[in-house]
Structure 1
Amino acid sequence: MSELPFAATTPVSVARVGLRARDAENLAAYYRNVVGLRELSRAGGTITLGAGNRPLLDIEADAAAKPDDPRSAGLFHTAFLLPSRADLGRWINHAIANKIGIEGASDHLVSEALYLTDPEGNGIEIYADRRPQDWKWNGDKVAMATERLNIPSVVAEVPAGDAGWQGAPENSIVGHIHLRVGRPEDAEAWWHQEFGFDTVAKYGSAAVFLSSGAYHHHIGANAWQSSGAGRRDPSRSGLAWVEMRSDNVTATTTREDPWGTVIRTVPGKA
């Protein structure tokens, strides 16, 4: 079995994400068939999906919800981190074989990633990290970029005769969450104060990346589509909550960021 990714071993990390869905069954099928999550449980209109026995995504049924507004505060993407580069190669082969449409494929220096959008407009990143010892730091800032992904190189990591993609492997996690916000500087201040996160990168004034324990980022926050957005409309589909895991707490807590996004914190090791 693969090791748990570095992103989950820091003092604070992302545990799972909750989505409010207009068609929960259809959305759950997408995350099973495309992302490779497996259904773990159902209770009270919520479908829980994960990898191995680790819950990563709760889909909450709300047929009356209005569609998400991409110009509002909310979810930019949920980033599913695979344990190895070969796993990412297996997923790429799966996407090719099943004609899964992707919207981007990027080399971020610290990681390699592909992007897609689920049927209700929620962004998804599927990625693998490069080794943390190979990341380039300038003081407390990490070098990240958006370059073209070398897909043949990633696919070449898959051994000959390999069984191929069998769904998200055990120890796949939610490596980071990228949020749409009204003002990145307000998000930065909030994550500093509430979680003690460090700012590790900025893309101009429109995006900020923050982390715990020298990861490249557990939280991204941008205003590329949502500049000036106020509090999120709770009657819309899309992001319902984010759950963080923390070594620094002994009880579950819930708070809201400046845009009304619910952030839960649960104690314990990953």
Structure 2
Amino acid sequence: MGTDELPSGTRMGRVRLRVNDVDEQVEFYRRVVGVPTVDRGDGRATLRAGEETLLELIEDPEAPDRPRSAAGLFHVAIRVPDRDALADALARVRAEWTLSGAADHDASEALYLTDPEGNGIELYCDRPREEWPRVEDGRVDIGTAPLDMDSLAGGDADAALPRGTDVGHVHLEVSTLAPSRSFYVDALGFDVSGTFDDGAAFLAAGDYHHHLALNTWNGRTEPVSEHRGLVGFDVVVPDAEAMAATRRRLEGHSVAVERRGDHLRIEDPDGIGVRVTTG
């Protein structure tokens, strides 16, 4: 790893959402998504699977709906450790909610749904890395095909998300692709792992298919504000050395960096908060 990129041990951490009704949202994430552990306090709810924090819900009953023109979350992708857990997820959604989509992405298999306040969710599992298709330069070739739903039949709708579940990636709707891509690649240090025409980019640290995705498919033109939806997300680097290198790189690209306790706080070009922490 050079100092101009994030190390391969980098992963995604918790995603923070502003919500109107934290009780309703907690019930959804327990019942439909299968989050087993919820910690409450100070108008917030922290949703965990094992020791891994997936989401932090911040209650603001007065927050307006996200404008159709505003940047923000396309979906948060919760990764389960195996197909059995994905089959359980499918059974829960079919029993309690409505599935909005499903896809075979070659490197992974995914289910899609939307929570009661309009936040997109992907529930997915990865195929073994040796099965991931690659293009000539070695990057992962992410495709989209119908998911074999019959092979996921028979899951347990009462099963919760197991240990080993985490946030695999975050997919953002951005207002303009080029400055966002420059921020996350040149300044923060992700690598471009794939592109989709001119309207999207897939980014990763190390050899993962993607930790972050950016798209302009829905024509968002404004930054985030104090509306419902995405507040920010965590990028978790492996150690203090990687944290220091990240800070130097950000400052070298004239990104305003705020040190808060054990993490760095920055904002992307659309005002989405990013915390860089270790773990």
TM-score by length of 1: 0.88
Match of 1:137, SS state, is coil
More displaced stretch, 212-221 vs 181-190 = 181-190
Q: Deviation digits for residues 98-125 of structure 1, max 9, x if unmatched?
A: 1420110100111100100001100000
- Structure 1 regions of 5+ residues with no counterpart? 1-8
Partner of residue 277 from structure 2, selected from 244, 266, 270: 266
Contact 1:197/1:211 (<8 A) preserved = yes
Q: Does the alignment pair 1:105 with 2:102?
A: yes
How far off is 1:186 after superposition? 1.9
Match of 2:28, SS state, is helix
Partner of residue 153 from structure 2, selected from 155, 165, 181: 155
CA distance, structure 2, for counterparts of residue 177 and residue 62 of structure 1 = 22
How far off is 1:42 after superposition? 1.6
How far off is 1:195 after superposition? 2.5
CA distance, structure 2, for counterparts of residue 209 and residue 112 of structure 1 = 17
- Structure 2 regions of 5+ residues with no counterpart? 1-6, 245-261
How far off is 1:38 after superposition? 2.7
Match of 1:147, SS state, is coil
**Letter of the structure 1 residue corresponding to residue 265 of structure 2:** T
Q: Does the alignment pair 1:257 with 2:268?
A: yes
**Letter of the structure 1 residue corresponding to residue 39 of structure 2:** S
Contact 1:201/1:209 (<8 A) preserved = yes
Partner of residue 184 from structure 1, selected from 168, 172, 177: 177
Contact 1:140/1:200 (<8 A) preserved = no
Aligned length: 252
| Alignment correspondent of 1:222 | 215
Q: 1:1-270 alignment to 2 at 5 Å?
A: 10-96=8-94, 98-138=95-135, 139-155=137-153, 165-227=158-220, 229-233=221-225, 235-247=226-238, 248-249=242-243, 251-268=262-279
**Compared CA separation, residues 57 and 203, structure 1 to 2 (3 A):** same
TM-score by length of 2: 0.86
How far off is 1:147 after superposition? 0.7
Contact 2:32/2:96 (<8 A) preserved = no
Match of 2:98, SS state, is coil
| Alignment correspondent of 2:258 | none
How far off is 1:165 after superposition? 4.4
Contact 2:110/2:122 (<8 A) preserved = yes
Contact 1:39/1:47 (<8 A) preserved = no
| Alignment correspondent of 2:250 | none
CA distance, structure 2, for counterparts of residue 59 and residue 222 of structure 1 = 24
CA distance, structure 1, for counterparts of residue 20 and residue 277 of structure 2 = 27
CA distance, structure 1, for counterparts of residue 69 and residue 127 of structure 2 = 32
RMSD: 1.7
Contact 1:102/1:116 (<8 A) preserved = yes
Contact 1:87/1:165 (<8 A) preserved = no
Contact 2:33/2:93 (<8 A) preserved = no
CA distance, structure 1, for counterparts of residue 157 and residue 30 of structure 2 = 16
Q: Deviation digits for residues 16-75 of structure 1, max 9, x if unmatched?
A: 100000111111111111101133312211111110132111000001100122431100
Match of 1:170, SS state, is coil
How far off is 1:153 after superposition? 1.7
| Alignment correspondent of 1:3 | none
**Compared CA separation, residues 189 and 72, structure 1 to 2 (3 A):** same
CA distance, structure 2, for counterparts of residue 240 and residue 154 of structure 1 = 33
CA distance, structure 2, for counterparts of residue 164 and residue 259 of structure 1 = 38
**Letter of the structure 1 residue corresponding to residue 114 of structure 2:** T
